[in-house]
């Protein structure tokens, strides 16, 4: 697979992206479920002394952060899978041009080409 933009993406390339994204979706869903169970377990463990409570709060905060990050990433992965289903994958949402293959390989959930993403981060595109 060449690193130049292939527009539109060949069906075999799309299948590879779809397969990788589906695997990420499964992994993220499992991680979210595992973290949720750990948070519930900590919440149900009852109260200990002040030091135990303090450590428990730190653990819960770290778990909530992991949970939130995984949920955010899962939404991005699901949006990319939706774009594949709608034949919009690899097409910049802002300008309608091709998203470079190199960018898609690094971030298959990218919805903007690199130029539009730069402009978006500078507040020039909404």
Q: Considering the domain boundaries, does residue 37 fall inside one?
A: yes
Query: pLDDT grade, residue 43 (50/70/90)?
Result: confident
Q: What percent of the chain has pLDDT over 90?
A: 66
Q: Considering the domain boundaries, does residue 66 fall inside one?
A: yes
Q: What percent of the chain has pLDDT over 70?
A: 82
Taking CA 93 as the corner, what is the angle to CA 114 and CA 100, rounded to the nearest 5 degrees? 35
Q: Considering the domain boundaries, does residue 61 fall inside one?
A: yes
Find the mean pLDDT for residues 80-106: 95
Domains contained in the chain, number: 1
CATH number of the domain that residue 109 is part of: 1.20.120.910
Query: pLDDT grade, residue 5 (50/70/90)?
Result: very low
Q: Considering the domain boundaries, does residue 5 fall inside one?
A: no
Q: Considering the domain boundaries, does residue 41 fall inside one?
A: yes
Q: What is the DSSP string of 51-97?
A: HHHHHHHHHHHHHHHHHHHHHHHHHHHHHHHHHHHTT-TTB-TTT--
Q: Considering the domain boundaries, does residue 6 fall inside one?
A: no
Q: Considering the domain boundaries, does residue 21 fall inside one?
A: yes
Q: Considering the domain boundaries, does residue 1 fall inside one?
A: no
Query: Which of the two residues, 101 and 57, has the higher pLDDT score?
Result: 101
Query: pLDDT grade, residue 2 (50/70/90)?
Result: very low
21 neighbors 80 (Cβ within 8 angstroms):
yes
Range of the domain at 54: 11-121
pTM of the model: 0.79
pLDDT of 61 > 80? The answer is: yes
| Category of 105 on φ-ψ map: left (φ > 0), alpha (ψ -120 to 50) or beta | alpha
């Amino acid at each position: 697979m060449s690193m130049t933009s292939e527009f539109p993406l060949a069906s075999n390339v799309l299948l590879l992206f779809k397969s990788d994204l589906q695997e990420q979706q499964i992994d993220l869903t499992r991680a979210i479920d595992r973290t949720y169970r750990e948070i519930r377990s900590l919440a149900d463990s009852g109260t200990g002394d002040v030091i135990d409570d303090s450590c428990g709060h730190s653990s819960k905060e770290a778990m909530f952060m992991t949970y939130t990050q995984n949920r955010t990433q899962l939404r991005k992965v699901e949006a990319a899978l939706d774009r594949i289903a709608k034949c919009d994958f690899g097409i910049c949402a802002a300008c309608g041009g091709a998203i470079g293959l190199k960018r898609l390989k690094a971030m298959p959930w990218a919805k903007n080409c690199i130029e539009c993403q730069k402009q978006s981060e500078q507040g020039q595109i909404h």
